[in-house]
Structure 1
Amino acid sequence: MDKNLYLSSLFGGGMAGMAVDMSLFPLDTLKTRLQAPQGFRQAGAFRGIYKGIGPQIIGSAPQAALFFCTYEAVKNFASPLVHTSALPVVYMVGASLGEIVACLVRVPMEVVKQRRQVSHHSVVQITLAAYRNEGFMGLYRGFGSTVIREIPFSFIQLPILEYLKQVYSRKLNNSEVLNSLQVANCGAVAGGIAAAVTTPLDVVKTRIMLAERNQGTALKYADVWMSVYQSKGFNGFFAGIVPRVMWITIGGYIFFGMYDYSKAFCQTTLLANPSSSSN
């Protein structure tokens, strides 16, 4: 059963990641351009809103699969060991560890994707430039700021999601597991709330990823915060909040709905064909 859980989490996470990233990519592009230091118009405005989709296609399924496999593993192992009042802590820890693991795949793809979204250079040129300027670690620019963004996001999103699922189930007087559409509704609300609260962290992360060492721009986390405030004021920390909240609200609906459906489908298939999971 544990093996089936991990396999279904990998499959469900991969399908969910692909579904969200491919369907909502234009909103991600607009959000990135609104947060770019050169401004929305100079970053490309509404032109070429699918630029950078190549790296996203490569990275979306693995990172989502790694996140959910880690999250479900922690949740499955720790939940029986703690009191129900401590379950939100389990969700937070599981989500945080999941995000750190996922960032090993996410960050290089995000660096290339975001630079592609705001420039005229090809994916190959951007990748080679990052490697020439900073070596292999150039592709991991913004790893720390991404983790700093993702952990608070998950701290907010996953406990809210699990809470809403419990409330939803009680309201429907349903002792059974929610169906995928009901899980999707919970995911949309949880994602939208988390997206709005963590937008300042996303702005700083985007600025760091877009900067290159030879450009002479601020690269340290605290310096970027100060740079945003000096150039844009307090409102600068909420640049792109509308497409970000729209993207993650709709994405939360698709992501968690698709994850729940794909995971259940995979588990049903594995249970129906137990020999396939042992090969």
Structure 2
Amino acid sequence: MDRPGFTASLVAGGVAGVSVDLILFPLDTIKTRLQSPQGFNKAGGFHGIYAGVPSAAIGSFPNAAAFFITYDYVKWFLRTDSSSHLMPVKHMLAASAGEVVACLIRVPSEVVKQRAQVSASSRTFQIFSNILYQEGIPGLYRGYKSTVLREIPFSLVQFPLWESLKALWSWRQDHVVESWQSAVCGAFAGGFAAVVTTPLDVAKTRIMLAKARSSTAGGNVLSALHGVWRTQGLPGLFAGVFPRMAAISLGGFIFLGAYDQTHSMLLELGRESP
């Protein structure tokens, strides 16, 4: 991938990530509290819905930038003809690689953010310090496997669907989709992917919020899912599905629309520069 493309992916991904995380933070807090072991009201209810926002703000840009740099690089590396039936496979592989890399930044930010969301009286830096003191660096990466196991299936659904919808829309109107059309495709793809991966999101939340050295804190996704099923049944596995679907649909609209708009603008500026 050439330097202008690399820079455009980095900046556009970062701008898109910050935009969506900060705009939709209250919905994410509500979703986390619905999924928490102590229940919505004890986790804070509607009080302090911006608790943990510093962690999200710090992690958003590098996390999203890392994803899109990797995603676009792998798409470039696996370049195939646009009419090839292997295109969805290329998008799946690129999205999966992007998630594995991005989660190295996302997980520590997510651990701190979610603990702040269910303990609104504690400051973000205090929570970060407590994790380092009690659990060390591994504590910041608790839930890495469960996050990757949530994000890869999510991306396997979202990104090929997003790319396919854009291609279909482009074919129907006989020209490349505009940024708002890409955003609409992103909203649909994100909302659908959010619903089908909610149980994995519940497992990830339980693992990140579990007490240190508890069985759930060990990070076994199947064990966490079984525990939720045993105590709360199917409603427990889909706790927070509506705010998650709403947040990710809106997030897909903002995130992928902002990415396409910023990416196109930066490439255009790059072409105009001497």
What is the CA-CA distance between 1:79 and the residue it aligns to? 2.3
1:218 is matched with which residue? 216
**Matched residue type, 1:134:** E
Helix, strand or coil for the counterpart of 1:248?
helix
- Distance change (3 Å), C-alpha of 1:83 and 1:185: closer
Q: Return the alpha-carbon distance in structure 2 between the equivalents of residues 101 and 265 of structure 1.
A: 25
2:165 is matched with which residue? 164
What is the CA-CA distance between 1:170 and the residue it aligns to? 1.5
1:136 is matched with which residue? 137
Helix, strand or coil for the counterpart of 2:107?
helix
Helix, strand or coil for the counterpart of 1:79?
coil
Cα pair 2:80 2:87 within 8 Å, conserved: no
Q: Return the alpha-carbon distance in structure 1 between the equivalents of residues 163 and 78 of structure 2.
A: 15
What is the CA-CA distance between 1:83 and the residue it aligns to? 6.9
What is the CA-CA distance between 1:81 and the residue it aligns to? 6.9
Helix, strand or coil for the counterpart of 2:85?
helix
Q: Return the alpha-carbon distance in structure 1 between the equivalents of residues 183 and 33 of structure 2.
A: 28
**Matched residue type, 1:135:** G
Cα pair 2:9 2:65 within 8 Å, conserved: yes
Superposition TM-score, scaled by structure 2 size: 0.95
What is the CA-CA distance between 1:217 and the residue it aligns to? 5.2
Structure 1: which 5+ runs fail to align? 275-279
**CA offset digits 1:20-71 (Å, max 9, x no partner):** 0111100000000000000000000100111100000001111111101110
What is the CA-CA distance between 1:129 and the residue it aligns to? 1.8
1:88-107 correspondence runs (5 A): 88-107=88-107
Helix, strand or coil for the counterpart of 2:78?
helix
Helix, strand or coil for the counterpart of 1:42?
coil
**Matched residue type, 1:111:** V
Q: Does 1:19 align with 2:16?
A: no
1:103-252 correspondence runs (5 A): 103-119=103-119, 120-172=121-173, 174=174, 176-214=175-213, 216=214, 218-219=216-217, 220-252=220-252
Q: Return the alpha-carbon distance in structure 2 between the equivalents of residues 58 and 218 of structure 1.
A: 27
**CA offset digits 1:75-121 (Å, max 9, x no partner):** 12212379710111110000000001100110000000000000122
What is the CA-CA distance between 1:218 and the residue it aligns to? 2.2
What is the CA-CA distance between 1:124 and the residue it aligns to? 2.0
Helix, strand or coil for the counterpart of 1:34?
helix
Q: Return the alpha-carbon distance in structure 2 between the equivalents of residues 197 and 221 of structure 1.
A: 16
1:277 is matched with which residue? none
Structure 2: which 5+ runs fail to align? none
Question: Which 4+ residue blocks in structure 1 deviate beyond 3 angstroms?
Answer: none
**Structure 1 stretch 113-122 or stretch 220-229: which is displaced more?**
220-229
Helix, strand or coil for the counterpart of 2:31?
helix
- Distance change (3 Å), C-alpha of 1:262 and 1:82: closer
Q: Return the alpha-carbon distance in structure 1 between the equivalents of residues 87 and 43 of structure 2.
A: 43
Helix, strand or coil for the counterpart of 2:176?
coil
Helix, strand or coil for the counterpart of 1:41?
coil
2:7 is matched with which residue? 7
Q: Return the alpha-carbon distance in structure 2 between the equivalents of residues 82 and 138 of structure 1.
A: 43
Q: Return the alpha-carbon distance in structure 1 between the equivalents of residues 82 and 141 of structure 2.
A: 36
Q: Return the alpha-carbon distance in structure 1 between the equivalents of residues 93 and 105 of structure 2.
A: 20
Q: Return the alpha-carbon distance in structure 2 between the equivalents of residues 14 and 127 of structure 1.
A: 23
**CA offset digits 1:226-247 (Å, max 9, x no partner):** 2111221121000000000000
Q: Return the alpha-carbon distance in structure 2 between the equivalents of residues 258 and 111 of structure 1.
A: 26
2:273 is matched with which residue? 273
Q: Return the alpha-carbon distance in structure 1 between the equivalents of residues 211 and 127 of structure 2.
A: 11
**Matched residue type, 1:25:** F
What is the CA-CA distance between 1:135 and the residue it aligns to? 1.2
Give identity over the alignment, percent: 50
